Structure 1
Amino acid sequence: MTTAGFTRVTRTGRRAAAAAVLAAVCLVAGGCTSLPGDSSPQVVRSFSPAPSTEEEIAPTPGQEPDLLLRDFFTASGKPTQKHQAARAFLTPSVAERWDDSAATLILDRIDLNAEPGASEDNISYVVRGTVVGKLETGGVFTPENASYEAKMELSRTGGQWRISALPPGVIMERTELRNRYTPQELFFFNPSGRMLVRDRRWVYNGQASLDTALLSLLMEGPQKLLAPGVVNDIPPTGVFAGYEQGVYGFTGFEDLDSDERHRFAAQVVWVLARAGIPGPYRVQLDGTPIDPDHLELSVEDVAEFNPNAQAGTISPLYALKNGSLSTIDGYTVTPVPGPLGQSQQVESADVSSSGGVAAAVISRGSGDSKVSELVLGPVGGPTTKVQEARTLTRPSFEYEATAVWSVVDGRTITRIARSTSTGEMSQIEVDSSVLSGQSPDGPGEPISVLRLSPTGVRVAFIRDGSVWVSTVSRPKPGDRAIANATEIAPALGDTALSLDWLQDGSLVVGTSSPATPVWHVETDGSSLTPLPSGNITAPVVAVAASPSTLYLTDAHAMLQLPAAASAAAFWREVPAVQGTRAVPVVAN
């Protein structure tokens, strides 16, 4: 259901059954593109298509009805020319009427069961599965978790079986989505205009011109879930005119100033570069080079906006051990100078290396008498109490420590910032009404973990053991609001205990599940992959990530794993804290 920007993913067997998914997915006709979208990318280059490497899928003479139906679902993964390949499996009259644009649903698997009463020339099948997502306009994947059931009828026509009745829309298995489509990235700016934010889209592999398809999508703006949190300087009159004579041409950009032109150049260059399209790139706005000083652009010309810049940085590692904050350097663990290294009451902490500041929750007492204090201060220096409550979640810094977020008593999200004019600390309540609006009988499940993304545009959190991602909007200067909250990993049930952001915008999630204690989760919910777990003992109560290394705390110790490790790798104890149960804190 969707209510005021809130997307709720129902859980099969755990929550009430979901309503039918009614997503309008418009696939462009004619074969010029195969992105789910409302408009056709304009391909004006001279193009000679390479020989297709895809296997042609078509009915075979004498094919049995169940096998023909299986091949139909496989052919449905080819969206070109309004699913021409799939229509070959339908009777002529049904092929003309089939509405393939009604929805594109992604199922975990497709099960077929024949209904009783089949005759020599007619047979019906019940198609069942679990909807894990839908592919929407512009290649946007939206996670779902609902049961699917439909009836399909087949008739023998001219001695061959063909589908004679089916519901509107397209269904395909998740494996077929990955076989036929590839996730790509568009980029838009965070509100400061200093950082590029990833906008993940699924693009059909059979695209004749990937670059023109991506740039056409860029011109349509960010997906609706992300839009409230990013800046889109592309003018309403802006049009991608296509690729001709080695130039990517755009029109309708007359009013952009030099800074806006440079930022748009960064969007174009990084979209193309991340898609593997080799540079340098010639880009013109209204017939003139986008940068008069550079007729050709490369990633070096827009390096300050590199979305992977953190990959080459060193993120200092800290640990919470016996209630105190310590630095870790190789085999050495050293308490930080000042109160945080001596407290023995630190419950959680975050460190901003870019801002040179630490935030920590210090807890005293227990049960009904427990009191939690949020303190701030320079790393290794004196701290100041800025907030007090019965419980506070682990603090999370915005980029460069411009503000810190926490959740009071599991319900109220707060943002504390220092005034640039007076230097005084101010606290606001983040508008999270979109979260409580889904529960008519109360404020909804409490938030146990909250982490801001590196760009500050997204926030991930855990409620009632489920993983959510939302966009941070700015209704007016100084205010913040949670927009478009979406549960992205319903398959985990209510087992999630900890999470953190990875450099590529995905998440690592720790759980209470002994079988699969730690997961890698894509931000759009399209993929959940268990990470190596052979020597992890659940529960995984803390996770953290640097560009090169993953860290976690399980039932026994603080462990580490190279970020690029194979599925067969083993986690190792962090040498400096071997034999003790510490909690990792990676400074970003």
Structure 2
Amino acid sequence: MSLRTRARTAAAAVAALAVAVLAGCASMPVSGAVNQGGDDVPRTGDFGQIAFGPTADADPEAIVRGFLRATQAGPTSAASFAVAREYLTKSAAETWSPSSRVLVTDVLPQPVLADGSDPTSDRVVVHASATVVASLDERGVFSEEQGGVETTFELAREGGQWRISHLDDGLMVPSPTFGSTFHVTTLYFPTPDLRSWVPDVRWFPQTTWRTSAVQQLLAGPPEYLAGAASAMLPVGTGLSASVTEGPDGTFQVLLTDQASEASGTARGVFAAQVRATLAEGRGAADVVLSDRNGPIVPTEVDVPELPHTPGRAVALQGGKLMNVTGRTLEQSELVVHLEGLDPQALAVSQAGDTVVVRDGVGRLVRVTGQSPSELLTGTWLLPPSIDRVGTVWTGDRGGPLVVVTPAGDRFALDVDWLEGRTVTSVRVSPEGARVAVVSSGEGGSTVQVAGIVRDARGVPTALASPVTVGASVTGVEQAVWQEESVLALLSRDESGATSVYLAGVGGLHLAVGGLPRRIGGISDPTWLSASVGSGDLLAIDGAGVLHVRQTTALWPVVGTGVQLAAFAG
């Protein structure tokens, strides 16, 4: 069947440069009597940090150094940036905006008096330099970046004391303390059919993260999910007050009057959104929605499902289809037709009843059913991925991405951000709303994630504008979904050695500065597959040995003589 090209529905541009803050903490006593604490302990996992104001007669460099340290406490303290503003002149304190440009740096910048500045005069200039590794924008969107930054501080005497009179807006935070200064939060947006949640990772100040999270839910999905996820309440709906937590752990969310214009279903799904987001993976939080007229009783709805990979992985061993059960391989009951084929890539549907292989490098074949069925031919087809509705994703290297529907219809996707690049890996997320694409071209390999726009039948018609993931990892050849918003990346260095990394879509939780981290314990990996929900990660090494990583750094052997292995997706 001939290819029919679908027009691409462009999404908005990717989020801009970003924000972050320094982090530190006060010391705690290590001696003295042990006293019994009270029964009423506040329910919070957030830890405030202590900032110290300027000392008398401090020199200009000490003032800048103290200011940079004091900004650490802003996102974690109820006093916000009040102490940091003590280092500024009155006029500078009134105009400085800490959240407009916040950068994650490799180290805490060290201030140096500028050449030509005379500390005996009334005005001096101090520079502070560092290397930027990431940033956040005002919406809490994380982006990896690389490059140097130099910030200039102008100081003047005020009341006989040095104070900062002019400075750039924003903050700088060293990467080792980024995670303790900002609270990583997963927002959940529904797919257009309201069947699944689409996760979106953000980073907010520790003291205001709940309010910030609900504000961003009201703002709707980000650009890279445009058309793949939905906003529930009318445009313009906002918060009338900060989100508060009552003594019983119930969150109070006071909305503006526009919320009453939404349908009962929309209000019900929004309530579920807030519960899922504020619960942080621990079931569902108790939430009360209100407007100025009183509580809003949401309509009961079917709550969308969290992304997860169903079923067990399968593997090809000795020409037979096997189930991966724990650390063993067992013969699968599914009948597959592999006679005369040269399987070099493997995909299985979420229902577990459809298996597709790449025969050699130029042919995709469905090997389940009454007889083998050819889906697509090409010069060098990408390893297939099967989404939740059964559509097979692939493409010819150097050509467009191609989708093949369960009915056998084939469509090419016009993706302008892939022009001039060669796609090497494509993998659809379990909920079917996002796709991870690895491509090579000018500048080397790039990993990008974009929302999938579908028509009323569920057929993919376009991809949104992407976000880049794992920018610091070079030589990436494959990307698979390992958790809701985490990709496992297979990379190859210039010597040919391969490694496995984890990289977060929106930053990696529990990693230094939210940056990708390498996973050790596996030698010469050549292929990966992973399961969202369990976190299991399979790897085949160069000797055909199948290993499984089950939430530890250990990779026990599952089987030998394994050609291919794949979880659903």
Class of the TM-score when normalised by the shorter of the 2 chains: 0.7 to 0.9
Q: Which has the higher contact order (CA 8 A, sep 6+)?
A: 2
User: 1:587 aligned to 2:560?
Assistant: no
Which moves more between the two structures, 119-128 or 353-362? 119-128
Unaligned residue ranges in structure 2 (runs of 5+) = 1-9, 22-41, 509-513
Amino acid at match of 2:492: S
State whether residues 315 and 547 of structure 1, in contact with CA within 8 Å, keep that contact through their aligned partners in structure 2. no
Q: Given the alignment of the two structures, is residue 270 of structure 1 paired with residue 276 of structure 2, yes or no? A: yes
What RMSD in Å do the two structures reach over aligned CA positions? 3.8
- Residues 262 and 463 of structure 1: CA distance in aligned 2, closer, same or farther (over 3 Å): same
Match of 1:434 among 417, 433, 448: 417
Question: 2:139 aligns to what SS in structure 1?
Answer: helix
Structure 2 match to 1:76: 71
Match of 2:528 in 1: 542
TM-superposed deviation, 1:468: 1.5
1:399-438 mapped onto 2 (5 Å cutoff): 399-401=388-390, 403-418=391-406, 424-436=407-419
Equivalent residue, structure 1, for 2:311: 315
Matches of 2:11 and 2:264, distance apart in 1? 37
Residues 1:218 and 2:214 aligned together: no
Identify the residue that residue 485 of structure 1 maps to in structure 2.
466
Return the alpha-carbon distance in structure 2 between the equivalents of residues 134 and 163 of structure 1: 24
Q: Secondary structure at the match of 1:484?
A: coil
1:290 paired residue number: 297
How far is the alpha carbon of 1:412 from its aligned partner? Answer: 0.8
Shift of 1:448: 0.3
The count of aligned residue pairs is: 511
Letter in 1 for 2:164: I
Q: CA deviation at 1:520?
A: 1.2
How far apart, CA to CA, are the structure 1 residues paired with 2:169 and 2:405?
51
State how far apart, in whole Å, the 2-side matches of 1:203 and 1:277 are: 21
Distance 2:554 2:299 in 1: 53
Decide which moves more: 48-57 or 498-507: 48-57
Report the CA distance between 1:7 and its aligned residue.
5.1
Distance (whole Å) between structure 1 residues aligned to residue 82 and residue 133 of structure 2: 25
Partner of 2:304: 305
8 A Cα contact 1:183 1:200, kept in partner: yes
The residue aligned with 2:448 is: 468
- 2: distance between equivalents of 1:583 and 1:64? 65
Between 496-505 and 141-150, the greater mean CA deviation after superposition: 141-150
SS in structure 1 at match of 2:477: strand
In the alignment, the residues of structure 1 paired with residue 65 and residue 396 of structure 2 have an alpha-carbon distance, to the nearest angstrom, of: 52
Aligned equivalent of 1:389? 378
Q: 1:351 Cα deviation (Å)?
A: 0.5
1:324, 1:342 within 8 Å by CA — same for their partners in 2?
Answer: no
The 3 A distance-change label for structure 1 pair 154 and 517 is farther
- Name the structure 2 match of 1:360: 357
> Contact 2:352/2:568 (CA < 8 Å) preserved in 1?
no
Consecutive unaligned residues in structure 1, runs of 5 or more: 9-20, 28-47, 294-300, 364-370, 419-423, 437-443
Aligned match for 1:572, one of 532, 556, 560: 556
Whole-angstrom CA distance in 1 between matches of 2:227 and 2:64: 42
Question: For the structure 1 residues 169 and 482, does the alpha-carbon distance in structure 2 shift closer, same or farther, using more than 3 Å as the test?
Answer: same
Given that 2:236 and 2:258 are in contact with CA atoms closer than 8 Å, whether structure 1 keeps it comes out as: yes
User: If the length of structure 2 is used for normalisation, what is the TM-score?
Assistant: 0.77
TM-score w.r.t. the length of structure 1 is 0.75
C-alpha contact (below 8 Å) 1:74/1:176 kept by paired residues: no
In the alignment, what sits opposite 2:36?
Answer: none
Structure 2 residue matching 1:492: 3-state secondary structure: coil
What is the distance in 1 between the residues matched to 2:119 and 2:366?
A: 77
Q: How many Å separate the matches in 2 of 1:511 and 1:117?
A: 48
Q: How does 1:174-185 map to 2 (within 5 A)?
A: 174-185=175-186
Residue aligned with 1:55, SS: coil
Deviation at 1:159, TM superposition (A): 6.1
CA contact (8 A) 2:105 2:134 kept: yes
Q: Per-residue deviation at 1:292?
A: 6.5
Amino acid at match of 2:404: I
CA distance, structure 2, for counterparts of residue 321 and residue 432 of structure 1: 37
**2:510 is the alignment partner of 1:522:** no
Deviations 1:265-310 (A, max 9, x none): 32122123227698443445764653478xxxxxxx86x53426x3
| Alignment correspondent of 2:231 | 232
Q: Is the contact between residue 99 and residue 138 of structure 2 (CA under 8 Å) also seen in structure 1?
A: no
Separation in structure 1 between the aligned mates of residue 333 and residue 281 of structure 2, nearest angstrom: 43
Q: Does 1:281 align with 2:271?
A: no
2-side partners of 1:100 and 1:506: how far apart? 29
In structure 2, the residue corresponding to 1:501 is in which secondary structure? Answer: strand
Letter in 1 for 2:461: R
1:550, CA displacement in angstroms? Answer: 1.4
> Deviation of residue 407 (structure 1)?
1.8
